[in-house]
Amino acid sequence: MLDALSIGGWKAGREIATGDWTRQLTAAGFTLNDAAVGIWGEFGELTIESCPARVPTSSLRIDPVDACIDTAAEAASLRLRYAENYSPLGMWSVQFRSYIAASGRVIAVGPNVVWCLGSTFVEALIYVVAGDDGVNRAEQADWLGN
């Protein structure tokens, strides 16, 4: 996993400014959590790609504004469903919006489905890079109104 992070541009101690993202997302109606803001600061603007052996390939792009600026209602639905605040994270595999909960749980949302990428950000990265561990990660999501 460290190789994938390094290839994606991450290094220990990396920090980026996240104030613009915070202002834009708050103005768009999001209630942000500390887990998200911390992850943005260290991993923001990176795209972490799966290892070559992972089938199907996977990626996680950490850019909450680009991926989710217009999805405050979706985040509110997630909060109601799971009783936890979900803040935008980015885009999983180029097409699914991803969110991180205050607890660190990472999910991705697509039409009528929610995938749990990991119960922590590290677990989600392992899943993105290395692939399936036999856990059913998808849940029907008719309640999202997608």
Average pLDDT over residues 60-72: 96
| Average pLDDT of every residue of the chain | 89
Q: What backbone torsions phi and psi does residue 76 show, to the nearest 5 degrees?
A: -65, -40
Residue range(s) defining the domain that contains residue 74: 2-144
Q: What is each CA distance from 42 to 38, 39, 77, 116, in whole angstroms?
A: 7, 5, 27, 22
Q: If residue 47 lies in a helix (H) or strand (E), which one and from where to where?
A: strand 47-49
Using pLDDT thresholds of 50, 70 and 90, give the confidence band for residue 131. Answer: confident
Domain count, the chain: 1
Q: Please answer whether residues 39 and 104 qualify as being in contact, where contact means their C-beta atoms are separated by less than 8 angstroms.
A: no
Q: What is the pTM of this model?
A: 0.89
Both structure tokens of 26: 């708050």
